[in-house]
């Protein structure tokens, strides 16, 4: 596998989706579409934003070992399917993940030399709440849950290699582009071992 992996995590509403959308226009990249049991939102499409399945279907996939990682967040399951990720890596693509802190640790453990991790956040809690409200997709209760989870996620931001404060979108994108260039320079362990043996 000669591709590389980029994990993006951070509070819901920090701008990850907008950054990913712009990256996909510029890079030879594959965005790992997660599978979820949460309800589809207005404007979302199955197979583009997420694969939307029932809890029963998701739990069946867990039992069959079809996920690279999975977690339960906001009372819903989210998971990453293995096969398309391996295929993209073999095609020398940058594989982008938009996953939570639990998923980050699992993937980092499985692919330590291929993975680069970035935590993205807003300048403060007030700004995050404002963005969530402006999104107009969640109930007040959902927003309060997301803000509560955001505080917990922030406590684990120090587990990531890079940290971006998305206050200015163009600046945040510029920083992310530089990180991607570093990510693509990483070499898998097998390549290093084979090269060393033949050197």
Tens of pLDDT along 16-54?
Answer: 999 999 999 999 999 999 899 999 988 889 988 889 999
Average pLDDT for residues 52-73, to the nearest whole number?
92
Q: Please choose, from the candidates 137, 134, 118, the residue with its C-alpha nearest in 3D space to the C-alpha of residue 126.
A: 134
Average pLDDT for residues 134-150, to the nearest whole number?
88
Domain count, the chain: 1
Average pLDDT for residues 6-19, to the nearest whole number?
94
111 alpha-carbon distance from chain centroid: 15
Average pLDDT for residues 86-98, to the nearest whole number?
93
Give the C-alpha separation, 16 to 170, whole Å: 13
Tens of pLDDT along 165-188?
Answer: 999 999 999 999 999 999 998 877
Cα dist. 148→12, 97, 156 in Å? 11, 23, 14
Residue at token pair 């980029």: 6
Q: Please choose, from the candidates 138, 197, 150, the residue with its C-alpha nearest in 3D space to the C-alpha of residue 16.
A: 150
Residue 196 has pLDDT above 80, yes or no: yes
Tell me the residue range of the domain where 100 lies. 4-198
For residue 176, what is the domain's CATH number?
Answer: 3.40.50.300
Residue 161 has pLDDT above 70, yes or no: yes
Tens of pLDDT along 93-115?
Answer: 999 999 888 889 889 988 888 89
Six token digits for residue 161: 């290699």
Q: What is the pLDDT, as a whole number, of residue 1?
A: 58
pTM for the model stands at 0.83
For residue 192, the SS3 value is: helix
């Amino acid at each position: 596998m000669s591709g590389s992996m980029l994990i993006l995590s951070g509070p819901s509403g920090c701008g990850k989706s907008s950054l990913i959308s712009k990256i996909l226009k510029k890079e030879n990249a594959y965005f790992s579409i997660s599978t979820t049991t949460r309800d589809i939102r207005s404007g979302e499409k199955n197979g583009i934003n997420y694969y939307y399945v029932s809890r029963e279907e998701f739990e069946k996939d867990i039992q069959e070992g079809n996920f690279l990682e999975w977690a339960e967040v906001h009372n819903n399951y989210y998971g990453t399917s293995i096969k398309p990720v391996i295929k993209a890596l073999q095609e020398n693509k940058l594989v982008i993940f938009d996953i939570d802190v639990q998923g980050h640790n699992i993937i980092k453990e499985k692919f330590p030399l291929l993975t680069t991790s970035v935590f993205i956040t807003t300048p403060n809690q007030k700004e995050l709440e404002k963005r969530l409200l402006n999104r107009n997709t969640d109930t007040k209760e959902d927003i309060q849950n997301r803000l509560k989870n955001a505080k917990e996620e922030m406590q684990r931001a120090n587990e990531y290699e890079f940290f971006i404060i998305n206050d200015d979108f163009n600046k945040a994108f510029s920083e992310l582009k530089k990180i991607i260039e570093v990510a693509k320079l990483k070499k898998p362990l097998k390549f290093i071992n084979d090269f060393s043996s033949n050197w």
